Amino acid sequence: MARSEAPWEKSQELLVKAEDVTDPNFGHRPEERPPEEYLRFGLINLDKPAGPTSHEVAAWTKRILKVEQVGHGGTLEA
Amino acid sequence: MTGVLPITLLEATKVVQALLYSGKEYVCLMKLHGDAEEMRLKNVLKEFEDVIYQRPPLRSSVKRQLRTRRIYYLDFLEMDRRNVLFTVGCEGGTYIRKLCFDVGEVLGCGAHMQELRRTRAGPFLEKNSVALQEVAYSFAEYQQTQDERILKRFVQPMERALTLVPKIYVRDSAVDAICHGASLTAPGILSLEGEIKAGSMVAIFSLKFEAVALARAQASSEQIMDLSHGVVAKTERVLMPRGTYPKRWKSGGNANEQKSQ
């Protein structure tokens, strides 16, 4: 019985094998995606209220944002 | 139950598997069925700060086999007669309801989970979460003003979900092949972040910090650093659309390697 390191407590070491540059004409840094793309590849850190199920909450978000598909990361049910 | 629930939109839904197995943290209100002395209760809670056995409950979508789950930490917060408040950090897929039941069994008096609030899901914290009302309000405001900054208030790039996943940064020239499902080979690798073990899931990233794909590592970090050729990771879930980066499969050294094979 002992406290162990949670994934978010672990340090993330960077090991560099080689160096290169990236072409600015292709792709975007995530924060710089144009709005429509930003939404398409986005997620919401939602504070789920009591009452509805996780699936219902995801469905509401889908309706509010008018998107064709949503998913959620881990059911929070009673 | 309330708390942190990451909702992925459209294409971002592909990162969901990275979240399902990520660590979680909860604040739990447990109700004891009998009186227990605080010191004894604290000791019993500490006994569960370990790898524990659990079988999924009747109402679950997973196979009901006995499995182990790790409790990273279990911190007693306060106790008021038969009400016990504690924080718990655990592996994804841990049933806190069952944990409370088992604590009750060990104590002898029995117990049940009264209330649960998730304070963390992988890298996502309660303090950074938004309420449904805020999503609705902010989205309406965005639609009216078309101000992108409003979107950023409640939507995050899917890459955020991969914060805790070990990463392999690759050259631009390696990106499109991976988007077509090709495995990642050594020459395409620039750097590694986090501890990679053979068989573990890794996220392949571009130099612009875009998620390219989720893959299965074929070697450890140390081994990868020494490899000059060969498959390093097998692509399992492509995240970036094809054609985002130019096709460079048949150019230069790689093409000669392929022809001679």
Q: pLDDT, tens digit, for every residue of A1-59?
A: 789 999 999 989 999 999 999 999 999 999 999 999 999 999 999 999 999 999 999 99
- According to CATH, the topology of domain B165-243 is 2.30.130
Nearest residue to B191 (alpha-carbon basis) of B158, B161, B232, B157: B232
CA–CA separation, B70 vs B230, rounded Å? 35
What average pLDDT does range B203-217 have in this prediction?
97
Distances (CA, A) of B34 to B108, B109, B173, B220, B254: 8, 5, 65, 50, 70
User: Residue A1 and residue B46: Cβ atoms within 8 Å?
Assistant: yes
Per-residue model confidence (pLDDT) at position A2:
86
Q: Is B147 helix (H, G, I), strand (E, B) or coil?
A: coil
- Count of Cβ atoms closer than 10 Å to residue B141 Cβ: 14
Per-residue model confidence (pLDDT) at position B56:
83
Minimal Cα distance from B124: which residue of A? A45
Residues of A in contact with B2 (CB under 8 A): 47-50, 76
**Nearest-CA distance A26 → chain B (Å):** 6
- Angle (CA) B196-B220-B15 rounded to 5° is 35
Q: Domain segments of chain B: what residues?
A: 2-6+12-126, 128-158, 165-243
Residue A59 forms contact with B (CB below 8 Å) = no
Per-residue model confidence (pLDDT) at position B111:
97
Beta bridge pairs of residue B233: B184, B217
Of the pLDDT bands very low, low, confident and very high (cuts 50, 70, 90), residue B95 is very high
pLDDT at B257 over 50: no
Per-residue model confidence (pLDDT) at position B247:
86
Minimal Cα distance from A25: which residue of B? B245
What average pLDDT does range B146-161 have in this prediction?
95
Per-residue model confidence (pLDDT) at position B22:
82
> Residues with Cβ < 8 Å from B22, sequence gap 6 or more?
A7, A73, B92, B121, B122, B123, B164
For chain A, the C-alpha Rg in angstroms (whole number) is 19
**Nearest-CA distance B98 → chain A (Å):** 12
pLDDT at B13 over 60: yes
Per-residue model confidence (pLDDT) at position B60:
76
Residue A17 forms contact with B (CB below 8 Å) = yes
Residues of A in contact with B19 (CB under 8 A): 73-74
Per-residue model confidence (pLDDT) at position B38:
96
pLDDT at A74 over 90: no
- The b/e string for B89-118 (b: 16+ C-beta within 10 A; e otherwise) is bbbbebbbbbbbbbbbeebeeebebeebbb
What average pLDDT does range B59-85 have in this prediction?
91
CA–CA separation, B49 vs A6, rounded Å? 12
What average pLDDT does range B181-210 have in this prediction?
96
Residue B214, Ramachandran bin (φ over 0: left; ψ between -120 and 50: alpha; else beta): beta
Residues of B in contact with A21 (CB under 8 A): 207
User: Residue B6 and residue A74: Cβ atoms within 8 Å?
Assistant: yes
What average pLDDT does range B41-47 have in this prediction?
96
CA–CA separation, B152 vs A35, rounded Å? 9
Per-residue model confidence (pLDDT) at position B214:
97
pLDDT at B218 over 50: yes
Residues of B in contact with A2 (CB under 8 A): 49-50
Residue with tokens 């069994």: B105
Per-residue model confidence (pLDDT) at position B75:
97
pTM for the full model? 0.90
Give burial (CB, 10 Å; 0-12/13-18/19+) of B176: buried
More confident residue, B54 or B210: B210
What average pLDDT does range B62-70 have in this prediction?
87
Count chain A–chain B contacts defined by CB atoms under 8 A: 245
User: Residue A45 and residue B130: Cβ atoms within 8 Å?
Assistant: yes
The answer to whether residues B146 and B132 touch, using CB atoms and an 8 Å cutoff, is no
pLDDT at B79 over 80: yes
Minimal Cα distance from A63: which residue of B? B136
Cα separation of the two ends of chain B = 57
Per-residue model confidence (pLDDT) at position B61:
74
Residues of B in contact with A7 (CB under 8 A): 22-23, 122, 164
User: Residue B189 and residue A18: Cβ atoms within 8 Å?
Assistant: yes
Mean pLDDT of chain B: 92
Beta bridge pairs of residue B114: none
Per-residue model confidence (pLDDT) at position B249:
58
What's domain B2-6+12-126's architecture? Answer: 2-Layer Sandwich (3.30)
Residues of A in contact with B122 (CB under 8 A): 7-8, 73
What average pLDDT does range B36-40 have in this prediction?
96
Of the pLDDT bands very low, low, confident and very high (cuts 50, 70, 90), residue B260 is very low
CA–CA separation, B135 vs B133, rounded Å? 5
Which tens digits make up the pLDDT trace of B104-133?
Answer: 999 999 999 999 999 999 999 999 999 999
Length of chain A: 78
Which tens digits make up the pLDDT trace of B231-256?
Answer: 999 999 999 999 999 987 554 444 44
